[in-house]
């Protein structure tokens, strides 16, 4: 472990702010725990409000230089960062696992997602195009351009401590923006490690280093500073619906833009004709993978009454064979929850399930034996009703609700009857069911799949969801547009000034 931390530049006590160089932060010193065995990995001296102000100033200054770089040159720098990340994939993947508890293959997958995102952003850097529009006026040309926006705030969550930063940072980077990253206080070390890697690349190139900045501190102090800063042109935030609402309200005060990626309450519909084996695998990965701590985790399965009992039985059996333990160990499929407060939320949900008339058919227990720490729980299956209050909420833990449905119309109705709208799926071989699910009357989510599960979205598509999920889109497709300032231009190359809409305004 020591070696890994050393290779990534993590010290015993680390500074919590970077703006081209590490600042000597003077805030509260916090211990960073590993949920694997509750050991302390390292300490971080958090940033104070004054540290934030220094970082913000540097980010504004760097923007004035960075925006002048041609976008493909900015892309080239992201390409080099992607190459450097490849060299640290193993160590960084391990640190992700040590710091937040996802299994090692998922830790590696997370770093791979960063690398893929770098490659995608390099391509994007030559494709930040606007349209040419036909002008109604003679001898006029109308078109649109996209310019760098400014300084971007990135608030990331513990569950994807580095990948979600990359979705934002690499796109914002090629768009010509500088940024300030505020990672979750549960996972500051991966953020420090990534910043060290980026620093090395930028230093070797001799370009302004205050492009990718970092501040580590509590949400109610540093987070509040960031979201209320009118010099931040866009805040891209991942986390709870409650946090997102706060970000939105604060940004609204200075007309700042937001990209919000908040709670999910993702469901898989299993119709009577579905390939049950496929559906089981997708539900298992969706609900148990990452210990149920993805925004895209499967929380509800809406199962046709004809196959309900069979599906529930097979799922119970599959849950019984999930190896739980140290996420660094090969073969383990489920590690710990991130911390004690997540265990508390899990326990609280179990109580509510029973109070509200649900029936726990598997799990429902915090593990105390044969595990190396205090954050391990059994993945849980409960038979429930969609209208139970606890089912309507997102509990960030491996708790899955099975709900019986009679037909496709009822399935879609219940599917959409939750406040969140991130990811969704249907398992069926019936073309009409599948198309109905994807139609305007179907799933109301930002992501809707057929015969694949709710989690594990690829970066090529725009990622995000509707309703209380917040409406933001990140990563691929044309999500880059939110990171740029759009401008419509008209050039008159004629010798008269004709007005649009036929308006006459001439002095005789
Ligand atoms: C998240 O949980 O915030 O689709 C992001 C997925 C991942 C990203 C999840 N690629 O599950």
Residues 483 and 398 in one domain: no
Instruction: Mark whether 450 and 329 lie in a shared domain.
Output: yes
Query: How many separate domains does the chain show?
Result: 2
109 C-beta closer than 6 A to ligand 1: no
DSSP line for 133-200: E--SSTTEEEEEEEEE--EEEEE--SSSTTHHHHHHHHHHHHTT-EEEEE--TT-HHHHHHHHHHHHH
Residue range 94-117, pLDDT digits in tens:
999 999 999 999 999 999 999 999
As a whole number of angstroms, the distance between CA 485 and CA 149 comes to 5
* One domain, residues 152 and 296: no
Of 116, 156, 160, which is best to mutate to test ligand 1, by the most ligand atoms within 8 angstroms of its C-beta? 160
> Are 365 and 420 in the same domain?
yes
Let me know whether 479 and 455 are in one domain: no
Ligand 1 binding pocket includes 319 (Cβ within 6 Å): no
pTM exceeding 0.95: yes
* Residue 292 CB-density burial (10 A; 0-12 exposed, 13-18 middle, 19+ buried): buried
- Could you tell me if residue 498 is inside a domain? no
Q: Which of 19, 175, 241, 295 is catalytic?
A: 295
User: Same domain, yes or no, for 169 and 28?
Assistant: yes
Does 295 qualify as catalytic in the annotation? yes
* Residue of the CA atom closest to atom 3 of ligand 1: 295
Range of 437's domain? 266-459
Mutation probe of ligand 1 site: the residue of 158, 237, 296 with most atoms within 8 A of C-beta:
296
Same domain, 240 and 318: no
CATH number of residue 98's parent domain: 3.40.605.10
Q: Which residues of the chain have pLDDT under 70?
A: none
Give residue 110 CA to ligand 1 midpoint distance, Å: 9
- Please tell me the distance from the alpha carbon of residue 239 to that of residue 249, in angstroms, as a whole number: 15
CA nearest neighbour of 216 among 3, 13, 34, 470: 13
Closest C-alpha among 101, 124, 112 to residue 35: 101
151 C-alpha to ligand 1 centroid (Å): 25
- Of 110, 113, 261, 474, the active-site residue reads 261
What is the four-CA torsion angle of 73, 91, 476, 203, rounded to 10 degrees?
-20
| Domain membership flag for residue 503 | no
Instruction: State the closest ligand 1 atom to the C-alpha of 458, by its place in the atom list counted from 1.
Output: 10
Residues 319, 201 share a domain? no
For this structure, is 261 an active site residue? yes
- Residues 222 and 320 occupy one common structural domain: no
Residue from 388, 413, 411 nearest 399 by CA:
388
Tell whether 9 is covered by a domain.
Answer: yes
pLDDT in tens, 221-242: 999 999 999 999 999 999 999 9
């Amino acid at each position: 472990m020591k070696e890994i931390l050393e290779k990534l530049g993590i010290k015993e006590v680390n500074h919590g702010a970077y703006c081209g160089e590490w600042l000597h932060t003077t805030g509260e010193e916090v211990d960073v725990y590993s949920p694997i065995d509750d050991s302390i990995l390292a300490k971080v001296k958090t940033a104070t409000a004054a540290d934030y102000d220094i970082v913000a100033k540097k980010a504004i200054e760097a923007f004035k230089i960075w925006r002048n770089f041609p976008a493909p040159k900015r892309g080239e720098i992201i390409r080099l960062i992607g190459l450097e990340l490849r060299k640290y994939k193993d160590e960084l993947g391990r640190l992700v696992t040590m710091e937040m508890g996802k299994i090692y293959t998922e830790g590696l997958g997370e770093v791979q997602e960063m690398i893929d995102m770098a490659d995608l952003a390099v391509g994007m850097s030559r494709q930040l195009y606007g349209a040419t529009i036909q002008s109604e006026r003679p001898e006029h040309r109308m078109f649109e351009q996209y310019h760098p926006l400014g300084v971007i705030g990135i608030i990331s969550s513990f569950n994807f401590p580095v990948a979600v930063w990359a979705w934002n940072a690499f796109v914002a980077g090629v768009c010509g923006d500088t940024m300030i990253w505020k990672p979750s206080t549960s996972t500051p070390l991966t953020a420090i490690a990534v910043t060290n890697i980026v620093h090395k690349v930028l230093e070797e190139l001799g370009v302004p280093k205050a492009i990718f900045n970092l501040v580590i501190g509590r949400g109610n102090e540093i987070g509040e500073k960031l979201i209320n800063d009118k010099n931040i042109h866009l805040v891209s935030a991942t986390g709870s619906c409650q946090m997102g609402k706060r970000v939105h309200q604060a940004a609204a005060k200075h007309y700042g833009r937001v990209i919000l990626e908040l709670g999910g309450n993702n469901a898989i519909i299993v119709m009577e004709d579905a390939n049950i084996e496929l559906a089981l695998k997708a539900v298992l990965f969706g609900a148990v993978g990452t210990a149920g701590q993805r925004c895209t985790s499967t929380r509800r399965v809406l199962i046709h009454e004809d196959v309900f009992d069979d599906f529930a039985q097979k799922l119970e059996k599959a849950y019984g064979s999930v190896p739980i333990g140290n996420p660094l160990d090969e073969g383990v499929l489920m590690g710990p929850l991130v911390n004690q407060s997540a265990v508390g939320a899990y326990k609280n949900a179990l109580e509510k399930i029973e109070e509200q008339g649900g029936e726990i058919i598997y799990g429902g227990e915090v593990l105390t034996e044969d595990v190396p720490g205090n954050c391990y729980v059994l993945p849980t299956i409960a038979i429930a009703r969609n209208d139970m209050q606890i089912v309507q909420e997102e509990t960030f833990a491996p708790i899955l609700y099975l709900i019986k449905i009679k037909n496709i119309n009822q399935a879609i109705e219940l599917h959409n009857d939750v406040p969140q709208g991130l990811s969704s799926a249907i398992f069926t071989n019936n073309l009409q069911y599948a198309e109905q699910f994807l139609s305007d009357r179907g799933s109301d989510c930002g992501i809707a799949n057929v015969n694949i599960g709710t989690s594990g979205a690829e970066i090529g598509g725009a990622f995000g969801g509707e309703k209380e999920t917040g409406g933001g889109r990140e990563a691929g497709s044309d999500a880059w547009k939110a990171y740029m300032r759009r401008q419509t231009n008209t050039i008159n190359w004629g010798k008269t000034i004709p007005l649009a809409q036929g308006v006459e305004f001439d002095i005789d």
